[in-house]
Amino acid sequence: MTTPQPGIARPVPDASRYLTFRVDERAEVGAALAALAGEVGDDLVVGFGASLVDAHGGEVPGLRELPALPGAKVAVPTTPAALWCWLRGVDRGALLLRGRAIERLLSPAFVLDDATEGFRHGSGRDLSGYEDGTENPKGEALVEATYAVGAPGIAGSSFVAVQRWHHDLARFGRLDPMAQDRAIGRRRADNVELEDAPPSAHVKRTAQESFDPQAFVLRRSMPWSDGRGHGLVFVAFGRSFDAFEAQLRRMVGIEDGIVDALFDFTRPATGSFFWCPPLRDGRLDLRVLGL
Ligand code: HEM
């Protein structure tokens, strides 16, 4: 039986560890992915970059790298990676040790490029204090928005956009509370949407029904923090990358010159696209890679 990776639709966990890898020994990649195939479950979601799929002669319609965005009024970096592992759990120590075990399993084919720890803040808030994830699709709408349809090996897979945003909370803190609410377009106190939010408000920029076609994604973002700073690991799953890209294009002012007010206090430092294969009988279904 083919199913999506179960960790995608699960609620955001208490703690996460996000690992990105590059390929080191190409000849070993097949064996490493075959070993990884049995590890995926509620506590591990994995995604493959376009470079990895291409190198194996795989055909995944719609898989690409996050493109450069001509006409963008703010910088949105593209930082491709071969492999993404999202470890989900409760205990940071357990996640670190699981991450090390996965590193060993993937060696020498893959080398770790980055590890970033995510954590839950209160009831699922961004570090700015705003509730994140409210307008996520649920039930049938979640299935429709999140999982690809297509040939065996593609059906039930998902496409994920991942960006590590760095917040300047001091800058955000200098705005008065009403200006902060207007930047997001919701009231921090009760999460109610502001009727008179300006067009630059984040939820006005990204209102999913306002796109043609409608642009729904499943967001599973979490705050992060380490020596490099702090912010949000933005994670959005979709049946393709199109909905995410449509939202991002509007956020950066390509449509109407108006930049999302989020950019007043936060910037993405990374941006990568990955394809999350489905499971077949409980293991990653790697048939599109010929594995
Ligand atoms: C640091 C970066 C970001 C922060 C702090 C942030 C925060 C938020 C918050 C607080 C909400 C309102 C509650 C909710 O519905 O979840 C929201 C909504 C939303 N955000 Fe973001 N977000 C960020 C980046 C992005 C990016 C990069 C995208 C897509 C390109 C995006 C897409 C959306 C969408 C689709 C909604 C729901 C809009 C609707 O249909 O009402 N967000 N975000």
* pLDDT per residue as tens digits for the range 41-58: 999 999 999 999 999 999
Residue 251's pLDDT is 98
pLDDT greater than 90 at residue 216 = yes
Ligand 1 geometric centre to CA of 110 (Å): 32
Q: Where are the beta strands (DSSP E) in 11-74?
A: 15-23, 44-48
Tell which atom from ligand 1 comes closest to the C-alpha of 208: 40
The confidence score (pLDDT) of residue 26 equals 95
Give the C-alpha distances (Å, rounded to integers) separating 186 from 82, 99, 176, 193, 265: 36, 36, 14, 4, 16
Residue 178 CB neighbour total at 10 angstroms: 10
Q: How far apart are CA 284 and CA 238, in angstroms?
A: 18
Distance in angstroms (rounded) separating the CA atoms of residues 184 and 130: 8
Round the average pLDDT of the chain to a whole number and report it: 97
- pTM, 2 dp: 0.98
Find the 250 Cα to ligand 1 centroid distance in Å: 12
Specify which residues 89 forms β-bridges with: 15
Give yes or no for a contact between 113 and 194, defined as CB atoms under 8 angstroms apart.
Answer: no
Confidence of residue 128 (pLDDT cuts 50, 70, 90): very high
Q: How confident is the model at residue 147 (pLDDT cuts 50, 70, 90)?
A: very high
Rg of the chain over CA atoms, in angstroms? 19
CA 206 to ligand 1 centroid distance, Å: 7
pLDDT per residue as tens digits for the range 68-86: 999 999 999 999 999 999 9
Structure tokens at 154: 């593609």
Q: Helix, strand or coil for residue 62? A: coil
Distance (Å, whole) CA 57 – CA 46: 19
Q: What is the CATH number of domain 2-289?
A: 3.30.70.3420
* pLDDT recorded at residue 229: 98
DSSP character at residue 206: S
232 closest CA partner among 119, 65, 153? 119
Q: How confident is the model at residue 1 (pLDDT cuts 50, 70, 90)?
A: confident
**For residue 286, which amino acid is it?**
L
Among candidate residues 160, 92, 127, 124, the one with its CA nearest the CA of residue 11: 124
Give the start-to-end residue ranges of the domains of the chain: 2-289
| CA-167 nearest atom, ligand 1 | 1
**Shortest-distance Cα residue to atom 23 of ligand 1:** 234
Q: How many angstroms separate the CA atoms of 192 and 135, rounded?
A: 12
- Residue 131 phi, psi (nearest 5): -60, 130
Residues with CB under 6 A from ligand 1: 126, 128, 130-135, 163, 165, 184, 186, 202-203, 206-208, 217, 232, 234, 236, 244, 247-248, 251, 262, 266
The residue type found at 236 is: A
Q: Helices H, strands E: what count in the chain?
A: 8, 13
Report the pLDDT averaged over residues 185-214.
98
| CA angle (50, 56, 57) in 5-degree steps | 85
At residue 48, the 3 state secondary structure works out as strand
Ligand 1 atom closest to Cα of 185? Answer: 12
What's the confidence (pLDDT) of residue 143?
98
- pLDDT of residue 196 exceeding 90, the answer is yes
16: its two tokens = 């996460």
pLDDT tens track for 235-282: 999 999 999 999 999 999 999 999 999 999 999 999 999 999 999 999
| Atom 6 (ligand 1) nearest CA | 132
